[in-house]
Structure 1
Amino acid sequence: MIFTRHPSRILLLALASVGMNAALAQSHTSHDSHDGHGASASPAAITAMDAVDAMDDHASGSPAPMNHGAMDHGSMKMDSGSAAPADARDPHGYSNGYTLDTGPYARKDISALMMSDMHSFGSFLVDRLERVHTRDGNSIAYDTQGWIGDAYDKFYLKAEGDIERGRVGDSRTELLWSHAITPYWDSQLGLRVDVGSNRPGRNWLAFGVQGLAPYWFEVEATGYVGEQGRTALRLAAEYEVLLTQRWVLQPRVEANLYGKEDPDLGIGRGLSSAAYGMRLRYEFSRQLAPYVGIERNQRFGRTASYVRGAVGNAGETRLVAGLRILF
């Protein structure tokens, strides 16, 4: 039935068969003469086959086939002699690789592009800048940290303290070198300096870890070694509860322990003080978020005795309002 409707198909098929046989014969001849390097089909065979395909496409209504011979794949080439460097993080260790001969990236080495973890970044966070209201009066408290570095190594600057009546009451400043030990944890090593008005200063060697614990708790654990055999340990943890995309509730707890009594600063041995509370903030953006909150500050042990002798109260509840700023 098919050949009755298309009598010319028999002739075309015969021509295609003859052309293919001639191409095969030529291919075998070329194979013998060039020792394994094959040759392409003859132009006559390709023309006959294209004519049959064109007739089939015309009968079925499909478009003509693409001429793949018009595509030029020679513009991209690979140098097989390129080798990986000794340090995979070195962007200059790859000598060759893929190159483009045409286009806007002509003759540029693609493999020399730097990965994202090879760049240096920086950030500065004012986690707490707040007005504190207590029974004894008002003060300003701050807690900031900034860093600069790459994905593996960073330099941190941390500062925390309070200001009363225009003077710095207690402040802690740390300069730390941070190194990634796991995807979620960094080790830290550096110096801590404590200063305050009408109080002797203290210098410490600091070492610890900082990162994300399971269930996304942000944790800091830092040990300190000071002069005259003084030691200390600071633990802090916080968590962010997303009530909505803009309302965030942030519980927080911090504890300070000392290995030696320091009467000049009113600090006893063991668990000295702890602060726990929560803050509710509204994020106009990730860079700016006002908040309000409540916090309990409590002294323990010998430190509580020193505080009672000075102000008569070892614990206080604070109402706070402030800003969280990210640069």
Structure 2
Amino acid sequence: MGIDAAGERALSPRVLEQAADWLMLLHEDGSAVQRAQWQRWHDADPDHARAWQRAERLLALSGQVPPALAHGALQRPASPGRRAVLRSIAALLIAPLGGWLAWRLYDGAAWDASVRTAVGERRRHMLDDGSVLQLDTDTAVDIAFDGHQRLLRLRHGQVLVETAADPRQPARPFVLASPAGRMRALGTRFNVHHAEATTALAVLEGAVQVSLAAGGQQRVIDAGAQVRFSADAFERTQAITPAIDAWRNGMLVVDAQPLRRVLEQLGRYQSGWLGCDDAIAAQPVSGAFPVDDPARSVAMLAAVHHLQVQRGPAGLWTRLRLPASR
């Protein structure tokens, strides 16, 4: 028997099909007799209980019903919409839990951001298991710990995660998801930034297993390496950029990065647009810049590279450009 995406011994297709059948049977006929028969099936084999736990987890992620299925949740009146949800869950039981359908179900869950920061704000948040989450500017994270897993979702922004050993036994997997994929921590410290459709992962300690949201592709990123990925493709794995987590201490450290990219990063810490003329966009920049004072950083860039600073009314925009005499 193989190992599934959660690191457990894989369940047989037969057992998963039985769980899917019971899911629909209890929905259609929630009589006491039917529930008693289900209980005998559930208790007859530890794999039956594990398969039912998978059904509970998927239903909880769907946001349609609470996870305590064995306590009456399936005895609600039937409805076409609810029946369709349960049929989808039944189909997902047969598929790998980390597959595309399961991902889409998870991604569609109507969660509110549990922890967030405003533009220019950074904060440290201790998780229930002792892990530490550091949030950069304009960042939103969902937190959903339960009896089966420690799950976080990065909606946007940047976080540094320092995982702790799970106080529960058996230990629950620690997973950070973004719109581009799922990152399972393998005893680690790692930095994740998500913007638009791309996630950037840098592993500082340990290792992280990445599964793309579109399914199929997985990769383990070891300490000292970083990678960018979208929902359906990895970019080339590279060595970590020096001081990639310097933002925790209020600094942006860059080495020969294009000016436009540096300004984009500084712009995350202020309201209003920050950019430059195309003529100097590719100019390489190196140095350390304070993110808590973007105006000072822009002044430093202008002085070192002999550029002119233009500002719009009420701070709506700031642009670096070549002086008119050049």
TM-score by length of 1: 0.25
TM-score by length of 2: 0.25
Q: Return the index of the structure with the highest Cα Rg.
A: 1
Q: Which has the higher strand share?
A: 1
